[in-house]
Amino acid sequence: MRRIFVSIAATLFIAVMLMACADEKGPAELGMQAAEQAVNATKAEATKFVPDQMAALNATLASAKDKMAQKEYKAALAEAQAIPGQAKVVLAAAMAKKDELTKKWTDLSQKVPQMVDAIQAKVDALSQLKPKKLPKDITVEKLAEAKTALDALKADFAKAQETFKAGNMADAIAATTAIQEKATKAMEALGIAPPPEVPAAPAAPAAPAAPPAAPVAPPAAKQKS
């Protein structure tokens, strides 16, 4: 008889555990769906601009999925519930990085053409002179090198623009930074003054602080009858 009671108790315990697991599985599945949606919404921008943070987010999602596979529903739910908030932080970091790179590209894409135009104007002016009329520090060979460098700068910048249009902002900026350095050397060789620095745009003013909350009036005293 005792064995029967033990067997029945064990069966009831297993049934209760199965019911508890069933109760936990539904919320865990919903939590996983929300987590996956948040990660997928973040993936495109974050993979491009903050790949390390995106990798960490993917690892967290994989960990939650692993817990689901192991039927650790409570732990999976807890991990999944944290993912949308983490995804929001990662996406904000990605957009901030995108804005930073966009500003760098805008600055470079304005400066480099100005430098190329200055080199072109100088080369054109020197090319009109006879070799004997060239400045003392400019030889025929030096002028020829400047023409070759100018053609290379134009070709390289055209490639950088295509790279930017393809969405590879970091690569485009790296290439254009190298072009700017080469253009600076070419300008120095030809005795051209560097272009003036463009002042940075002023930072947006901080939002005004919220006004203090109005004091709560004390409750009116009850009049004695």
Q: Look up residue 136 and give its amino acid.
A: K
Distances (CA, A) of 109 to 55, 72, 106: 31, 53, 5
Widest distance between CA atoms in the chain:
121
Which residue segment(s) compose the domain that 134 sits in?
Answer: 98-190
Average pLDDT, stretch 27-49? 94
- Based on the fold, state whether residues 148 and 67 are members of the same structural domain: no
Look up the pTM and report it: 0.68
Confidence band for 24, pLDDT divided at 50, 70 and 90: confident
Specify whether 167 is located in the same domain as 115: yes
pLDDT bracket for residue 197 (50, 70, 90): low
Residue 53 tokens, joined: 């943070």
Task: For residues 105 and 71, state if they share a domain.
Answer: no
Mean pLDDT calculated for residue range 87-112: 95
Q: What is the pLDDT at residue 63?
A: 96
Residue 83, exposed/middle/buried by CB under 10 A (0-12, 13-18, 19+)? buried
Phi and psi at residue 210, to the nearest 5°? -65, 140
- Residues 135-180: tens digit of each pLDDT: 988 899 999 999 999 999 999 999 999 999 998 999 999 999 999 9
Which own/partner pairs from 160-168 qualify as long-range (CB within 8 Å, at least 24 positions apart)? 161/109, 164/105, 164/109, 167/48
Give the model's pLDDT for residue 194.
77
Q: Are residues 38 and 62 in the same domain?
A: yes
DSSP state of 205: P
How many domains in the chain? Answer: 2
The answer to whether the CB of 66 falls within 8 A of the CB of 102 is no
Confidence grade of residue 3 (pLDDT, cut at 50, 70, 90): very low
Are 147 and 178 within one domain?
yes
**Burial class (CB within 10 angstroms; exposed 0-12, middle 13-18, buried 19+) of 108:** buried
Give, in order, the Cα–Cα distances in Å from 49 to each of 42, 61, 92: 11, 19, 11
In order, the DSSP letters of 182-198 are: HHHHHHHHHTPPPPPPP
pLDDT at 196: 67
Residue 11 lies in a domain: no
Domain-located, residue 205: no
Residue where a domain terminates, one of 64, 97, 130: 97
Q: Are residues 69 and 110 in the same domain?
A: no
Q: Which residue has the tokens 């002179």?
A: 129
Query: Strand, helix or coil at 213?
Result: coil
Q: Token match 């192991």: residue? A: 70
CA distance 154 to 147: 11
The mean per-residue pLDDT over the stretch 44-64 comes to: 95
> Quick one: 103 and 92 in the same domain?
no
User: Does residue 162 share a domain with residue 132?
Assistant: yes
